[in-house]
């Protein structure tokens, strides 16, 4: 089910913010406006809208903008009036997800390698020296300072007396 609408979005609230944040604020206003009026969860703003807002630098966004919006499956696609709306294909979405998964796996592997190295080994590796990675023992026995042990023994003796 597709829902199409044309809006004139007022951007006068963007002029209330500081000079160097007006274009950013205008994009946020457009995003919120479309989310509220199209009742969609995700809003995709087209490149034409972005170019129109940033055309006169970050300090002078337009006072209002005409937008053509289409809603499909709780995703709102918006583009400046007169330009064609581009939607992501299924192939592009799957490629994006695969790329994201590969990146996460790479980060996990790097973290595992870091855990195996000591700080000295990391520094030497960054400097370019070859270092063999030695595995650390998985469990390190906890040792208490002598003062704590002596204090615990005193407390135990006092408890026995009472």
pLDDT of residue 134: 55
The C-alpha atoms of residue 114 and residue 72 are separated, in whole angstroms, by: 44
- Domain for residue 151, yes or no? no
pLDDT of residue 8: 95
- The boundaries of the domain holding residue 123 are 88-134
49 shares its domain with 118: no
- Domain for residue 25, yes or no? yes
- Domain for residue 6, yes or no? yes
pLDDT of residue 6: 94
The mean predicted confidence, pLDDT, of the chain is 84
CATH code of the domain in which 45 resides: 3.10.440.10
Q: What is the pLDDT of residues 52-66, one digit of tens each?
A: 999 999 999 999 999
- Domain for residue 144, yes or no? no
Total domains present in the chain: 2
pLDDT in tens, the chain (162 residues): 678 999 999 999 999 999 999 999 999 999 999 999 999 889 999 999 999 999 999 999 999 999 999 998 888 999 998 888 887 777 887 888 899 999 999 988 888 877 776 777 777 777 775 545 555 555 555 565 677 778 888 888 777 776
42 shares its domain with 62: yes
- Domain for residue 108, yes or no? yes
The C-alpha atoms of residue 81 and residue 152 are separated, in whole angstroms, by: 77
74 shares its domain with 35: yes
83 burial type by CB count under 10 A (0-12 exposed, 13-18 middle, 19+ buried): middle
- Domain for residue 21, yes or no? yes
pLDDT of residue 121: 73
User: Please, which residues have CB within 8 angstroms of residue 139's CB and are 6 or more apart in sequence?
Assistant: none
Q: What is the 3-state secondary structure (H, E, C) of 43-112?
A: EEECHHHHHHHHCCCCCCCCCEEEEEEEEECCEEEEEECCCCCCCCCHHHHHHHHHHHHHHHHHHHHHHH
Residue 82, phi-psi category: left (phi > 0), alpha (psi -120 to 50), beta (remainder): left
């Amino acid at each position: 089910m597709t829902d199409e609408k044309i809006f004139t979005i007022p951007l006068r609230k963007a002029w209330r913010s500081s000079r160097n944040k007006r274009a950013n604020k205008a994009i946020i206003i457009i995003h919120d406006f479309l989310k509220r009026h199209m009742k969609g969860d995700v809003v995709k703003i087209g490149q034409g809208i972005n170019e129109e807002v940033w055309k006169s630098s970050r300090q002078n966004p337009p006072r209002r903008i005409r937008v053509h919006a289409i809603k499909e499956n709780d995703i709102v696609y918006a583009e400046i009036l007169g330009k064609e709306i581009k939607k992501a294909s299924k192939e592009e979405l799957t490629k994006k997800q695969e790329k994201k998964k590969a990146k996460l796996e790479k980060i996990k592997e790097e973290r595992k390698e870091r855990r195996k190295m000591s700080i000295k080994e990391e520094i030497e590796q960054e400097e370019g020296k070859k270092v063999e990675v030695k595995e650390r023992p998985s469990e390190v026995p906890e040792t208490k300072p002598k003062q704590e042990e002596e204090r615990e023994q005193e407390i135990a003796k006092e408890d026995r007396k009472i």
